[in-house]
Amino acid sequence: MNSEKGGDNSMKKINLEVNLGPLALRNPVLTCSGTYGFGEEYAPYCPVDKLGGITLKGLTPEPRLGNPLPRLAETPAGMINSVGLENPGLEEFLHSYLPRVRELPTTVIANISGFSLQDYETMASAFQSGSGIDALEVNISCPNVKHGGMHFGTHPDSAEEVIALVKKKTDLPVIAKLSPNVTDIVEMAKAVERGGADIISMINTLLGMSIDIEKRQPLLANKVGGLSGPAIRPVAVRMVWQVAQAVKVPIIGMGGILTWQDAVEFMLAGAKAVSIGTGNFVNPLAPLEVIEGIEEYCRRQGFDAVEEIVGLAL
């Protein structure tokens, strides 16, 4: 199973399928919410039917115009963004987007956000199996307006509560997406596991800021934004590695993946699948190259199935 000299492996077929509890993917490579639109934008560059799946832009009950501009700034080996959850809102999504989304020849994960428990309830109730969506990713990194803007994603009890609620309202597999802006990521992971999450995805962006020294003001109109890209990869890999040792639910790893080597790092750290966000902006073929690279890595290292490499660095 693990011999580098095991004859001519060059043609060996690797089983790329991964089972994330109730969600099976044909290969372990997804794309991140907020970086892949509604699944059609990158189609001319990267055929979605080759991907393990895609995650849609974060949705809220009401339409949102999002934050003022500028919304993006580049940082060393990364970027900060403050899109502010611009989205068409639930109704418009179901009406104008879902019909096209359901035709996408890949696994589709909807990403839902809210500013109150009620919001999450509304969103979860709207998505059930058979609707054309295969799983629900719950973005808990939003300020809870009812609780003075404290974030659902930084308090274990709130996180557990949100996930439990969503779980009650939908029969789809529920993915809890963790924020890295916490003291103890393991505590958060255990909380969402208690809440009934089927899968954990991690990490969302780190809170960051850049300042325009000529204008003497933050570069983003919103002042702070979410840091993503290769810069944050060591933090993401560390967190996946910590969480993989502490929970039983499968993990989708993300944060700075650009190449297959990066993806393999996450899998060795314990992620069963990976997701590519900012990497798409740099190389729209990244998801395909990552799939091929993982396959070739397994072949070269003498594995038959990609699931065999999960957690080997634990």
Ligand X SMILES: Cc1cc2nc3c(=O)[nH]c(=O)nc-3n(C[C@H](O)[C@H](O)[C@H](O)COP(=O)(O)O)c2cc1C
Annotated binding-site members: 33, 57-58, 81-85, 111, 139, 177, 203-205, 229, 255-256, 277-278
Answer yes or no whether residue 36 interacts with another protein by CB under 8 A: yes
Please report how close the Cβ of residue 230 comes to ligand X at its closest, in angstroms.
Answer: 7
For the residues of the chain, what is the DSSP string, one character each?
---TTSS--TTPPPB--EEETTEEESSSEEE-TTSSTTSSTTTTTS-GGGSSEEEPPPB-SS-B--PPSP-EEEETTEEEE-----B--HHHIIIIIHHHHTTSSS-EEEEE--SSHHHHHHHHHH--TTSS--EEEEE--SEEGGGTTEEGGG-HHHHHHHHHHHHHH--S-EEEEPPS-SS-HHHHHHHHHHTT-SEEEE--PEEE--EETTTTEESSTTS-EEEESGGGHHHHHHHHHHHHTT-SS-EEEESS--SHHHHHHHHHTT-SEEEESHHHHH-TTHHHHHHHHHHHHHHHHT-SBGGGGTTTT-
# chain residues binding ligand X, by CB under 6 A: 26
Q: Which of 173, 255, 293, 311 binds ligand X (CB under 6 A)?
A: 255
Q: How far is the CB of 139 from ligand X (least distance, A)?
A: 3
* By CB under 6 A, residue 28 contacts ligand X: no
247 binds, among ligand X, another protein, a copy of itself, none (CB under 5 to 8 A by kind): none
Residue among 41 and 187 whose Cβ is closer to another protein: 41
Residue 176 beta carbon to a copy of itself: minimum distance, rounded to whole angstroms:
17
Contact window for another protein (CB under 8 A) among 1-9, 37-45, 95-103, 182-190: 37-45
How many whole angstroms separate alpha carbon 56 and alpha carbon 34?
7
Q: Per-residue string for binding with another protein, 214-253, x by CB under 8 A?
A: -------x-------xx-----------------------
Using CA atoms, how far apart are residues 200 and 94, in angstroms rounded to an integer? 25
Map residues 176-195 to x or -, x wherever contact with ligand X holds by CB under 6 A. Answer: -x------------------
Compare residues 15 and 181 and give the one whose CB is closer to a copy of itself.
181
Residue 57 or 177 with smaller CB distance to another protein: 57
DSSP 184-216: -HHHHHHHHHHTT-SEEEE--PEEE--EETTTT
Does the protein bind another protein through residue 143 (CB under 8 A)?
no
> What is the rounded distance in angstroms from the CA atom of residue 286 to the CA atom of residue 260?
8
Stretch that binds ligand X, among 122-130, 151-159, 254-262, 297-305 (CB under 6 A): 254-262
Contact region with ligand X (CB under 6 A), list: 101-109, 149-157, 255-263, 288-296: 255-263
User: Quick check: is 142 catalytic?
Assistant: yes
| Closest to ligand X by CB, 236 or 249 | 236
- Binding flag, residue 34, ligand X (CB under 6 A): yes
CB of 8 to ligand X, least distance (A): 35
Which residues are part of the catalytic machinery? 142
